[in-house]
Amino acid sequence: MARNFNEVVLVVGYRGMVGSAIVRRLSALGYTKILTLGREHLNLLDQSAVRAYFDERKIDQVYLAAARVGGIHANSTYPADFIYDNLMIQANLIEAAHRTGVQKLLFLGSSCIYPKLAEQPMTEQALLTGTLEATNEPYAIAKIAGIKLCESYNRQHGRDYRSVMPTNLYGPHDNYHPDNSHVIPALLRRFHDAVENAVEEVAIWGSGKPMREFLHVDDMAAASVHVMELDGEVYRSNTQPMLSHINVGTGIDCTIRELAETIAKVTGFKGILTFDATKPDGTPRKLMDVSRLKSMGWQASIPLEEGLRDAYQWFVENRLGARN
């Protein structure tokens, strides 16, 4: 799709890690009519309010990056919030976009949509072929519903609504809450605090054996815009009507122990790492098959250690204002 810098592009969830990265990417490319929408502007759970917002504006493209997100602890503690909020946000925004004639929309999902024991690396075809990881099942079901909403509007109404499924993301504007954050921000904060307070030992949940793949959010934003801008024929030739989501990742994973050791290096922690095997590990391995996205002309470019240094620098510089 040829770029039209005069199109009005709405980024929903612009204050979050992914949404803010998408805004940065669009601005860098030359888009000038970028609308940003967050919970401080509008209650995304209010269907009437969301419809009124779209009715009052001429919007050409929507990046749907708004979601309630969190790590294992948050998902286990607030399952009703995670499924309800995400279902409502997605349904309200996708329906409002359709009702007002928005033809282009990109929905951002999550790799947790795939079965807990999916064959590795996980291909797009693995969706709905097995049991989900129990600790984040409500969130995963909501994200699966978002994919199916996009597919259904495409089939019934001829829309061009696309979905991208990122692996584990990290980077600037991440959530650094001590209990509700994902593994990278949680460890960055824990190791940083240990260095500041001269703590000699850092304990990490789980055995350290599970393997995870991590993608810097700036890479995610670049991939999102790339997929949104793909010519319709190119996109459709690499997807199917009932398999329209695309994996986004690096195609490289590491153990949680290796991740912790790298974060210790990045933060300057010289002490001892211990692993609490009484805490849940979650899925044994989560690696994305990214061959479909590579065939569409995009692949990740930010190595893990380099990305972690960037994320840590942002945290140090913005600690007081970070989500914590």
Feature table: binding site for substrate? 190, 205, 212, 281
Write the DSSP symbol of residue 122. Answer: B
SS3 of residue 160 by DSSP = strand
Please state, in angstroms and rounded to a whole number, the distance separating the CA atoms of residues 194 and 205.
16
Rounded to the nearest 5 degrees, what angle is found at the Cα of 257, between the Cα atoms of 256 and 259?
Answer: 60
Please state, in angstroms and rounded to a whole number, the distance separating the CA atoms of residues 106 and 94.
10
Bind-site residues: 13-19, 108-111, 143, 166-169, 182, 190, 205, 212, 281
Spatial CB neighbours of 292, under 8 Å, sequence gap ≥ 6:
123, 124, 238, 239, 246, 247
Name the one residue in this structure whose structure tokens are 């967050």: 38
* Residue (of 106, 38, 103, 40) closest to 67 by Cα position: 38
Structure tokens at 5: 């810098």
Convert 73-83 to b/e letters by CB count within 10 Å (16 or more is b): bbbeebeeebb
Q: Are the C-beta atoms of 280 and 210 separated by less than 8 Å?
A: no
Please state, in angstroms and rounded to a whole number, the distance separating the CA atoms of residues 245 and 226.
14
First-last CA distance in the chain: 39
Would you say how long the chain is, in residues?
324
Please state, in angstroms and rounded to a whole number, the distance separating the CA atoms of residues 63 and 206.
35
Bind-site residues for NADP(+): 13-19, 108-111, 143, 166-169, 182
Please state, in angstroms and rounded to a whole number, the distance separating the CA atoms of residues 21 and 14.
8
Annotated catalytic residue within 31, 63, 139, 153:
139
Q: Are the C-beta atoms of 107 and 146 separated by less than 8 Å?
A: yes
Which contiguous run of DSSP H or E holds residue 254?
strand 253-255
Specify whether 31 is catalytic.
no
Q: So which residues are the catalytic ones?
A: 139
